[in-house]
Amino acid sequence: MDPNVTPAHAREVAVGLIRTLRDAGHVAYLAGGCVRDELLGEHPKDYDVATDATPDRVQSLFRRTQSVGASFGVMLVHQDGVTVEVATFRRDGPYTDARRPDHVEFADAEGDARRRDFTINALFLDPLDAQSGTSNGSQPDDAASKGTLTTSAGRVIDYVGGLQDLKNKTIRAVGDPDARLREDHLRALRAVRFASRLGFTIDDATAEAIQRHATELKGVSRERVGDEIRRMITHPSRALAAWTLQYLGLDEPIFAKATTSAPKHLGRLDDAAPYPTCLAAWAIDRGSVVEATQIAGLVAHWRTALCLSNEERDALKSTLIGTGVLLREFSTLGVAAQKRAAASDWFHEALRLVAAESPESMVRIHRRVVQLVGTPSGLSPIPLLTGDDLILSGFRAGPAFQPILDGVYDAQLEDKITTKEQALALARELAGDSGV
pLDDT at position 100: 67
- Residue 305, φ and ψ in degrees, nearest 5: -65, -35
pLDDT at position 400: 83
pLDDT at position 139: 43
Q: pTM here?
A: 0.87
pLDDT at position 134: 42
38, 44 in Cβ contact below 8 A?
A: yes
pLDDT at position 329: 93
Which of 371, 359, 361, 376 shows the shortest CA–CA distance to 413?
A: 376
Which CATH number does the domain 169-260 belong to among 1.10.3090.10, 1.10.3720.10, 3.40.30.10, 3.40.50.300? 1.10.3090.10
pLDDT at position 274: 97
37, 43 in Cβ contact below 8 A?
A: yes
pLDDT at position 142: 46
pLDDT at position 5: 81
pLDDT in tens, the chain (436 residues): 566 789 899 999 999 999 999 999 999 999 999 999 999 999 998 999 999 999 999 999 999 999 887 678 899 999 999 999 999 999 876 666 556 666 678 899 999 999 999 999 999 999 998 754 444 434 444 433 456 777 778 999 999 999 999 999 999 999 999 999 999 999 999 999 999 999 999 999 999 999 999 999 998 999 999 999 999 999 999 999 999 999 999 999 999 888 888 999 999 999 999 999 999 999 999 987 767 788 999 999 999 999 999 999 999 999 999 999 999 999 999 999 999 999 999 999 999 999 999 999 999 999 999 999 999 999 999 999 999 999 998 888 888 889 999 999 999 999 999 999 999 999 999 988 454 5
pLDDT at position 94: 66
Partners of 171 in the β-ladder: 202
CATH superfamily name and code, 7-167: Beta Polymerase, domain 2 (3.30.460.10)
Q: Where in the chain is the domain with CATH 1.10.3090.10?
A: 169-260
Q: Where in the chain is the domain with CATH 3.30.460.10?
A: 7-167
d(CA 352, CA 370): 17
pLDDT at position 138: 40
pLDDT at position 99: 60
